[in-house]
Structure 1
Amino acid sequence: MSRISVRGFAVASATAVTTVGAVVGVATGDPQSSTNLETTASGATLLADIPAGEQARVQNASLTEQADAISHAADADAKRSTEEAARIQAAKDAKDKKAEAEAKQKADAEAKEKKEREAKEQVASRSASRDASSFTPKSSYTISEVKSIAAQIVPSGQLQCFSNIVDAESTWNYQAVNSSSGAYGLVQALPGSKMSSVASDWRTNPATQIQWGLNYMNERYGSPCSAWSFHQANDWY
């Protein structure tokens, strides 16, 4: 910097103010003010002693330093705010990610548990079901009798789906014949003779037809409900 520092400028300014006060005191007859005037005048550099151009430079330098200090403080505050916001966001993201992972883990566990439960229920239902050979053949059957046989052969968890297919294919008529294709029976086997793999009485015994239909749905689709889903989408199975 040039000849005089900012601090010097401040001292000079204060001295000038003191000097002016002393002059006023002399004018009013205050002896103490007169003494202060003499002391100040003899020991201080007055602002008036600084060249006008130098005064302007000193003032500008002081204002610049003040502005720089304010700017640095603002930058520091902004940086702290940004870092704090980033820290808070990172903590939130980590929490959300953890919650998402825990939710997925829980959903996977529930899905696995449900699948295992359904498998156990299906096994239990099958083991409790009767085989077609356990029914004594009759000369004729009512629809309610045919449905009763189906309820004893088809696992309970799959019975409704099986029933939906029989409703759509034959409306529970075990002697139904498709005039176009020749498909026969409750589940409209094509050809009907396929059902002889269960028993030779496939034409007249609904139990034989039900057993064959259940075997077919399990082997081809995995279950009557899967077969029914396919049937709904394609109008055949």
Structure 2
Amino acid sequence: MSRISVRGFAVASATAVTAVGSVVGVASGSTAQPIDAEATASDSTLLADIPAGQQAQVQTASLTQQADAQAIAADASAKKDAEEAARKQAAKDAVAKQEAAEKAEQAAKEAKEREEAEEAASRSATRDASSFAVQSSYSIAQIQAMARQIVPADQFQCFSNIVDHESDWNYKAVNPSSGAYGLFQALPGSKMSSVGADWQTNPATQIQWGLNYMNDRYDSPCGAWSFWQANHWY
């Protein structure tokens, strides 16, 4: 490098990079800054003092520098966009999760309300023993039909299981050893008079007494049946 010193080459190179960058900026649509004519002339003189081959290197270095800067800016923009997209997706997922939880809670509430309504309807649909017409005798089918109208539907099978084992639906059944009487083998049978004086001849009276007994002592016929299975009495 005989024409200029190393320091001069460095200054010229930097100046050339600046000059080329300005040209590129203008070409790309950037707002041009006021250019000092004397400085430009000086820069041109310095660039002219560099050998032709090295001028190309200086120009290439300038373009490379610009490309690197643009790549860094693009990476930063892409990262920012990705972070924003992730933030929006996280917020969207949180909202969806909250909505799903609220729907599940509402569905559980509605299911419980339906269950309570059905249970209430079942209870209200039952009849009182006194609402049945008195007959001189009753068949097993008639007695079971009466029981279905007095006992809540969800408790009837447990209720029926106990009657099956105690009397086989014979409302006049008597235990010869103890004197236990009726559908539920009440001992003494006169206990059933708490429901009606006709306890010896009216299955409806016995059914109502049996249901009251199971509810009072075991909370329900199914509670009584569970106890019966474990102990073979209730």
Tell me the TM-score normalised to structure 2 length.
Answer: 0.57
Output the CA distance in 2 between the equivalents of 1:41 and 1:155: 109
Instruction: Give the total of aligned pairs.
Output: 196
Q: In the TM superposition, what are the counterparts of 1:80-229 in structure 2 within 5 Å?
A: 80-123=81-124, 125-126=125-126, 128-131=127-130, 135-136=134-135, 138=137, 142-154=139-151, 159-174=156-171, 175=173, 177=175, 185-189=182-186, 192=189, 194-199=191-196, 202=199, 205-220=202-217, 226-228=220-222
Matched-pair contact (CA < 8 Å) for 2:146–2:204: yes
Matched-pair contact (CA < 8 Å) for 2:129–2:205: no
Q: Following TM superposition, where does structure 1 have runs of at least 4 consecutive aligned residues deviating by more than 6 angstroms?
A: 40-43
Matched-pair contact (CA < 8 Å) for 1:178–1:184: no
Residue of structure 2 in register with 1:24 after alignment: none
Residue of structure 1 in register with 2:50 after alignment: 46
- CA RMSD between the two structures: 4.6
Residue of structure 2 in register with 1:3 after alignment: 11
Matched-pair contact (CA < 8 Å) for 1:6–1:62: no
Which residue identity does 1:100 align to in structure 2? A
CA offsets 1:186-219 (integer angstroms, 9 cap, x no match): 2344665543423466566533321211222344
Output the CA distance in 1 between the equivalents of 2:12 and 2:190: 119
Cα offset, 1:74, TM superposition:
1.4
Give % identity.
38
Output the CA distance in 1 between the equivalents of 2:186 and 2:205: 12
Output the CA distance in 2 between the equivalents of 1:85 and 1:42: 51
Residue of structure 2 in register with 1:70 after alignment: 71
Cα offset, 1:66, TM superposition:
4.5
Q: Match of 1:135, SS? A: coil
Tell me the TM-score normalised to structure 1 length.
Answer: 0.57
CA offsets 1:71-91 (integer angstroms, 9 cap, x no match): 342133122112212202311
Which residue identity does 2:159 align to in structure 1? F
Cα offset, 1:111, TM superposition:
2.8
Which residue identity does 1:227 align to in structure 2? P
Q: Match of 1:3, SS? A: helix
